[in-house]
């Protein structure tokens, strides 16, 4: 598994969340999900099963527990659709564009390790 595989999983997970299928941390059809700007159209992202969505959601919850800032950086980008690292840094108090990029890389590494251990 590579960082690109993790990004693809996160794109699929974000679609799963936006479509209201997530039960982990988000209510069904979350009100904010309809206001999220689309970077990649949802219909261009492959569907995932509920079990896969829950598996990724549990991994994200572990990341949140172990590295809250990296979790915020990934969630802002994929679920929130904020692709500009400078904006993520300002909006969520994570610091500079470079710092947000570093946090994302930490998140990818964490998830790679998490999924490799399963």
Look at 37 and 46; give whichever has higher pLDDT.
Answer: 46
DSSP 66-82: H-HHHHHHHHHHHTS--
pLDDT at residue 21 above 80?
no
pLDDT at position 44 is 55
- DSSP-derived letter for residue 50 is H
CA dihedral 81, 86, 92, 93 (to 10 degrees): 170
Query: Alpha-carbon distance 60 to 30, whole Å?
Result: 18
Cβ distance 17 to 26 under 8 Å? Answer: yes
Query: Alpha-carbon distance 55 to 32, whole Å?
Result: 22
At 28, the pLDDT band (50, 70, 90 cuts) reads: very low
Look at 45 and 31; give whichever has higher pLDDT.
Answer: 45
């Amino acid at each position: 598994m590579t960082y690109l595989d993790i990004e693809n999983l996160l794109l699929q997970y974000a679609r799963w969340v936006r479509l209201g299928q997530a039960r982990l941390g988000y209510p069904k059809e979350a009100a904010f999900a309809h206001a999220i700007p689309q970077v990649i159209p949802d219909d261009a992202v492959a569907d995932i099963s509920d079990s896969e969505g829950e598996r990724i959601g549990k991994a994200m919850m572990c990341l949140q527990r172990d590295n809250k800032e990296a979790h915020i950086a990934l969630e802002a980008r994929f679920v929130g659709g904020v692709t500009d690292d400078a904006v993520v840094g300002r909006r969520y108090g994570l610091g500079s564009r470079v710092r947000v990029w570093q946090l994302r890389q930490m998140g990818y590494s964490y998830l790679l390790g998490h999924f490799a251990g399963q």
